[in-house]
Each structure stands twice: as structure tokens, then as C-alpha cells.
Chains A and B, each alone.
Chain A
Amino acid sequence: MTGRFFRARHALGAHVRGTTLVAHDGFSARYDLDRVAGIFSRPDHKLAGESFVGRVLVLDTAKGGVASAWMLHEMKSRGIVPAALVFNSVNPILVQGAAFGDITMLAGFDQDITAIVPNGVEVELDPQAAMLTLI
């Protein structure tokens, strides 16, 4: 798939439209986030200091521990949560957390999705079609 549309191999959740926050880095709710302030807090993370609230996170891979499965649900309950998660590759924890927390997720692309999708642009995610569209 080329151009404005990118198909994922895996998808779940509801249709989402939002602004991207992109980095070629990993993601773990416990390791990387200040979940109260809603920012990336791990000092050596490429998005350190950036707010993730309401953004479509486009990252390389899921990292770290199992806590993210609960944490996404807890973050969703307070509204301090990304709008959606997009990964090159994903581990089961983030998938389980996205399913439990009702957060849209796409993963598995033919190209490095973090190199293709610009930071700060509008995108649309259609999990039914497993498709990410640049608006």
C-alpha cells in the first residue's frame, strides 16, 4: 500500500480521527509515562515531556511490563489517555490493554510506520478495514 493509505495486519477498536504524535521508540504505560500529568516522563524517551492525551500515538514497538493492560483502562476512566495506538510491532500486553480499555489499535505494516506518518498531522484509523489514512 502506498500514498495516503496504510494497511495494518492487526487491528481492534472503534473508528478514530486525531492528531499524531510520532517517534521511533517503544511504549510502556509504566516505564514511559507520567499517567497523572499525561506526559512521557522517561528522560531518554524520544517523546519525553510531550503530552500524549488525545493524540494518535505512532510508535515502533510495545515494551516492558504487563501493567499496561490495567493502566490503559485506568487512564481511559480519567480521560488521560491517547486517542489510539499505532505500532510497527506489538506485544500481547498492549493488545490486551487496548481490548480491555476500549482503545483503538493498529499494528504490523509493510513499512516503518514511524518513518511514513509525520508528527502532528490528522489521521483516520478504521480498524474494520485495518487502515490508517493521512487526512
Chain B
Amino acid sequence: MTLSEEEQAILAGEFGAVRQWALQHQMEVGAFFSAADFVPVTQAHIMADTESLGEAGVCWLERLAAMDERQRRVRIPTITDPRGTDFAKATFLRQTSAMVDLERRAVDAFVKLGVAMTDTCINYQTIQAPGRNEHVAFGDTGVVIYSNSVCGARSNFEGGPSALAAGLTGRTPRYGFHLPEQRRATLHVRVEFTPKALDDWGALGAVIGRRAGNYWAVPVIEGLEATPGSDQLKHFGAAMASFGSVALFHLVGLTPEAGRLSDVAAPHLPTVRLTGADVRALQASYRAEDRVDVVVFSAPQLSLFELRELSGLCEGQRFIVPLLAVTSPQVKSDADRLGYTATIEAAGGTVLSGMCFYQSYAREIAEANGWKRLATNSAKMVNILGGYGYRPMLASMAACVEAAVTGRLAGS
């Protein structure tokens, strides 16, 4: 890789051992992908729940945090993805004190590194959405696909160590979706189905993700007969990224780089046709049982408008199984102030803040609470939780709320 004078100085240790490690790590990744050089980034977003970090990862962070303050602090605005707990609700979740202690240690270390603990995977709805062509280093696949596709920003998937490295150096290797040529479509998708509910948008994203199949695939999509809003695009993209590892899609006439098909697609691109039957087949594959142990709305965290809708559905209800709604700290305070939290919790639900369900020791809390059959409207979450021992079921928000009332998911 070609290094600037400053990068050579960082590599030589003139800016301290922390930044030196960061650049070395970035160079190893950059060399793997044949990056020619670095590109400056304006923001970094770190995924770092302690189920992922473990004791080893937290100890590693603490070693960085013990270094000289001038050397260890991030250079650019650097924020965090959801944590592994809501400290106020850890007892309710039956998380152990060891889990909570590890989270506190990780938070302390990040604060010493100058990281802002925003604890959100919807930063594009709540903190600051990136602009078109803005190079960023974002973690959380849902954040990256939304930022790339809907905002027109430029990011690869940046895992926790790499996003922190970007925060420390203010740059990232120039490969993948930082390059214009990588952003051209590789697959033309013609849909003959326009989703309505959020779980439909997620399911369509999941089907496209499966067809696309890998990180380097860029679907360009035509045929939608409605203009999706931010929450619809959030579920659509998060599911596509989850099922297919996809980091960028284009919607012709809707997303900023695809005013026309020809703006992003070469002639005679391979085309696949998707119908409502494809989407219904995916949804049906996650409706194997009717009894429900827990209902969860999460992944991505809920926006204020999603909580508003959920609150309306909960009005006057009484749940016989737990219902969990997970949001960001930024949205939670508004939901409290506007009365949404009180309505959901009056029905027997719980609103959690700053965490995400699957990032919060999902296997252990399932065993501790007897949760196996889980209903959600998140296609992303049903894709993840099978590996944690759950029987995840995908349904609309309204059907999930009804399941919390009756203990059964209608139509299974």
C-alpha cells in the first residue's frame, strides 16, 4: 500500500503504540484485498457487545485504555452499536452478574478511548446519517447496507477491531465499496411483489440476499410499486445483509446512485424474477409452530415510529407471554416522554434500551427464561437465532402482539 508521510509516521510509532497497532491491522486487511492506499473517513461505528468480545476482547480493550491518554483517544467521531445488556433490565433478562460486569468493563475502556457510547444500530435514524459519497467506517451490517444504499455513503463491513482502528487513525483501506467500480450492480432483480408490513419488507430483503449470495454481489431492484420509508428500508436492507452478507443494493428511481437502471447496471446483466410466492415461502419456513414462549421486537432497534405503532397495538391488551421491544437510548427517552413505553409496559411488555436481543447472550437468556419458541417481525433476527437454539417465527407486528396475548401465533 502507498502510505502518506503521516501514515509512515504512524507506522513508525511516532503517534504511539495504539495508533501503530491500528495502522498495522488496517494494512494487513488492506493487503489482503490489494488496497492501493488509505481513504480518510469521517465517522466510525463499533460493534462490540461482550458476548462477542469475551474476556479476551475486554482485556485487550483495557490494555489499550491503559495507554497514554494522548495516544489512545479516537481522532474522529466514533460511536457504538448496541451493547449486550440494558443495565436497568439485566435482572429481568436473568443475565448474570459476570455478564453485566464484563459489559461495564468494556464501557469503561471505550470511554477512555474517547468513544461515544451511543449503543445503537439505527444511528442513521437517530445520530447522524452520512451524506452521499461520504467515506465512513461502520460496523453492523444493517448500518452499512443502509448507509451505502439509501444514503449513498461509502463503507465496507467494519468489524469491531477494524472500526476502532479507523477511529484511531481516521482512515481505512481503500477497497470494496469505497471504490466506484465495486458499486456497480452485479444482479438485476425484477420483483412482482410490493411489501406492505415490515416483516414483508424483511422477507423480500432476505429472499434477495439469498439469491445475491455474497458480499461482493450488488443487486439492482426494479418493480416496486410503492416508495418505502426509512423503517421499511431498514428491515429490507438488514435482512438482505443478514441472509446474503450484502452491503449495497440499488432501487431504480429511489436510491441515490440509481436514477435509471443504466446508471448502475451494464446491459444484459443476469436477471432474476421474484414473486409474492417466493416471499411467502420464506415466511412459511419460519412458521413451524404455533405456541410462543416470547415475543421480541429488535434487530434492528425500533424507531420512534415503530414504537408508536407497537404502542397502539398494545393499548388495552394483557400479555400472557413476555413481549420485549428493544430500541436505542436516543429513541427510548422520546418513547418515555410520549407515553409509548408506559402503554407497552401497562400491557405487560418491556421496553429495553441500548441493547439488541441477539447480541445480549441470547443462548444464556433463553435457557434462563425457558424461551425457545420466539415470535418476531424481524427477518434478520429469525435468520440469526436458529444457531442460538431458538425456534424463531416470523410474523407481522400485529400478529406478534396477538401472540403475546394468546400465547399462540395465528396462522401457523
Q: A-side interface residues toward B, CB under 8 Å?
A: 10-12, 26, 30-34, 41-45, 61-71, 73-74, 76-78, 89-93, 95-97, 99-100, 105
Contacts and interface: CB of A to CB of B under 8 A. Distances in A.
A133 to B, nearest CB: 20
Interface residues of B toward A: which range? 35 or more
Nearest to B389: A41
B317 interface: no
B215 A62 contact: yes
Contact of B215 (A71, A76, A91, A96): A91
Given A66-B140, A99-B25, A42 B386 contact: yes
B interface, over-half SS: helix
Contacts of A93: 157, 159
A74 B54 contact: yes
A91 B55 contact: no
Given A74-B52, A91-B214, A97-B159, A64 B384 contact: yes
Contacts, number: 137
B48 interface: yes
B57 A73 contact: yes
A96 B159 CA distance: 7
B245 A64 contact: yes
B55 A99 contact: no
Give the 7 A-B CB pairs with smallest separation, nearest first: A69-B159, A74-B54, A77-B56, A91-B215, A42-B387, A70-B52, A67-B52
Contact of B32 (A11, A44, A65): A11
Given A31-B387, A66-B159, A89-B216, A74 B139 contact: no
Interface string B88-115: 0000000000000000000000000000
B56 A73 contact: yes
Given A69-B159, A92-B29, A30 B384 contact: yes
Contacts of B156: 92
B161 A70 contact: yes
A51 to B, nearest CB: 15
